[in-house]
Chain A
Amino acid sequence: MKPARGTGGPPVLLIILGISGLALFALPLAGLLARTPWAKLGSLLTGDVVTDALGLSLLTSLAATAIAAIIGVPLAWLLARVDFPGRTIARGLVTLPLVLPPVVGGAALLFAFGRRGLFGQPLNEATGLLLPFSVWGVILANTFVATPFLVITVEGALRNLDQRFEGAAATLGARRWTVMRRVTLPMIGPSLVAGLVLTWARALGEFGATITFAGNLQGRTQTLPLAVFVALESDRDTAIALSLVMVAVSLTVLVALRERWWKGL
């Protein structure tokens, strides 16, 4: 392609560095595809370990995303709109799971919600519910690690939204919930969807907090990433098949949503 006259092409150095950046993402994938035992793939993918892990991963990541939506959007609204004392600290607390090693997050969850944990023990005594080493534990670990993505995205969108639109809706007779439902949420729609997708993707890939807090029991708490980790030691072909499943699921969703929802982002 000949560059348009007068504008020049992009600088050569920029092209080289840019392509290196792309290679960083493409080469590992190529390595995975090169080692894939294509002939055995069908039987590998229908094995118990793979189907158990896939089912559990989809269930827990979607549940975590749903919980994130229910508690994360109101939290984002509070952080964006209400000037309460300690807001800066609250905002830091929300972003903590983003920088904390997930293993540390898992350990903290254990001290809080474990059998002898600060809240886990009374919870267990009152209801008999035990979070660690259960599906609920996986969901809690996923939610803890992934919700910040939703909160941050939605809070930013709420701050950028011109509040005069909400005022206009009020003068047209809309009560606060109606304003929220018919004006605020639709107007931040693209950011909300983006936040949900990021949250779901993070939950799907969650490893450290899950293995620390919920353990690694096939069919109960062994999600796809955990199954990949275990299989790498014992059964390399299964590990590759599991990895391919993760790549395929993630890529499909991200590309589809990018086409539909993310055009403006």
Chain B
Amino acid sequence: MEGPLGLNADFSARREGFRLDLKLSISPGRTVALLGPNGAGKTTAVNVLSGLLPIDRGRIELAGEVLDDPRAGVFVSPEARRVGVVFQDYLLFSHLSVEENVAFGLRSRGMSNERARAQAGEWLERMELSDLGRRKPRQLSGGQAQRVALARALVTEPDLLLLDEPLSALDVGTRVQLRRTLAEHLDQFQGPRLLITHDPSEAFLLADEIHVIENGTITQSGSPDDIRLRPRTAYAADLAGSNLFVGYARNGSVDVVGHQLHVASAVEGDALVTIRPSAISVHRSQPEGSPRNNWLTTIKIVEHLGERVRMRTGPPLPLTVEITESALVEMNLSEGEEVWVAIKATEIGVESESIP
């Protein structure tokens, strides 16, 4: 159990024949991600914690206050909870200006119009939105809307921040950029944060701890590295299969945990490196020719997935590799054997992660 100021939740909830069982503890200042596919129960979790759906069994406690406990007959309604939510698609009120959206929570809690506007103005400034206060939500870019949603949720000083797929409304290009600004802005909130997402890179980069959720239950919990290196379900393995590393890029190569990868990218500084498992080739002897990244390693795990085979390799840089079943048979590979792996520089994805 975490300290009294965090979130402690252990409950079951039912909705339209679907059942969610969740046990969750988040201490202040930490970001926990609930990572799972669509239909796993993520939205139900948001509704339960924000008070839009009562639980059937268990108990939810936030900042020392019981929010929901059917056995004790306690249920705190959503408007009385101190939970800030950044909703999927943001759900900004289209008929209100940006400033009125941010001031909404303060006005609803009885603050005078003048004070609410002044306080909303402060948050707009903090989120670098000062010039946009009079605009309507439809006149905002995706990134601006995200910051308005965050300001609207944080202005009431909640005890818990819920982020429901905060980046899914954006296209891929802006997503990378906004993940970075989101990480910065999250630091402005001192309480416990729960990130709900289906995007592994979002969870790996923003969260301190990840719970993988499938079919309404948590199937694995751990640090991002735990999930990545020791996936326990097929779904987690699929997530981990993306070979995601954080490194430092300089002069066409990236330093990943002391290992140098040659890349075809001009990115400099902190970088996010992705390598598709099928882009890695496996050889019995050192390959000749173009691949500039190649090294000798051992096969740790072999997993058969029908036509394909997924392997985990050992040091110097642990990778998830995918080859065909016939290639495995041809090379006569099995667990514990030494092999060469090779990756073309052009097959390595590099995104800047530096904060400008």
Residue interface bits B47-63, CB-to-A below 8 A is 1, else 0: 10011100000000000
Q: Kindly name the residue among B79, B84, B95, B152 whose own CB sees the greatest number of chain A CB atoms within 10 A.
A: B79
- Give the segment of A180-188, A199-207, A237-245 that binds chain B: A180-188
Query: Does B245 interact with chain A (Cβ within 8 Å)?
Result: no
* Interface residues, chain A, with chain B CB atoms under 8 Å away: 162, 164-165, 167-175, 178, 182-183, 186-187, 189
A172 touches B105 (CB 8 A): yes
- Assess the A171–B83 pair: CB atoms within 8 A: yes
Q: Is B109 an interface residue (CB 8 A)?
A: yes
Bound form: Cα–Cα A189–B96 in Å? 13
- Assess whether B156 is interfacial by the CB under 8 Å rule: yes
CB-CB under 8 A for A173 and B108, given A167-B52, A187-B95: yes
A175 partner residues in chain B, CB cutoff 8 A = 79, 108
B108→A172 contact, CB < 8 A: yes
Q: Does B40 contact A (CB under 8 A)?
A: no
Residue in contact with A170 in the complex, picked from B52, B93, B152, B156, CB distance below 8 Å: B52
Contact mask for chain B residues 306-323; partner A; CB cutoff 8 A; 1 contact, 0 none: 000000000000000000
Chain A neighbourhood of B93, CB < 8 A: 165, 168-169, 183, 186-187
By a CB distance below 8 angstroms, the chain A residues around B91 are 162, 164-165, 168
Q: How far is the CA of A174 from the CA of B109 in the complex (A)?
A: 7
- State in angstroms the CA–CA spacing of A224 and B85 once bound together: 55
**B81 at the binding interface (Cβ < 8 Å):** yes
Complex Cα–Cα for A101 and B224 (A):
70
Distance between A168 CB and nearest chain B CB, rounded to angstroms: 4
Main secondary structure of the interface of B (DSSP, over half): mixed
Nearest-Cβ distance from residue B163 to partner chain A, whole angstroms: 13
Judge if B204 is at the interface, Cβ distance under 8 Å: no
Which A residues are in CB contact (< 8 Å) with B293?
A: none
Is the pair B52, A174 in contact by a Cβ cutoff of 8 Å? no
CB distance from A106 to the nearest CB of B (A): 40
User: A167–B104 contact, CB under 8 A?
Assistant: no
Which residues of B (87-123) have their CB < 8 Å from a CB of A? 87, 91, 93-96, 104-105, 108-109
Known: A164-B87, A175-B79. A169 touches B108 (CB 8 A): yes
| A172, closest chain B residue (CB) | B105
Residues in B with CB closer than 8 Å to A167 are 47, 50, 52, 78
For residue A146, give the distance in angstroms from its CB to the closest CB of chain B.
27
Q: How far is the CB of A191 from chain B (nearest CB, A)?
A: 13
Which residue among B51, B85, B87, B93 has the maximum number of chain A CB atoms within 10 Å of its CB? B93
Give the complex CA separation of A172 and B84 in angstroms.
7
In the complex the two chains form, is B52's CB within 8 Å of A186's CB?
no
In the complex, what's the smallest C-beta–C-beta distance from A194 to chain B, in angstroms?
Answer: 16
Counting chain B CB atoms within 10 Å of each CB, the highest count among A162, A173, A174 belongs to A173
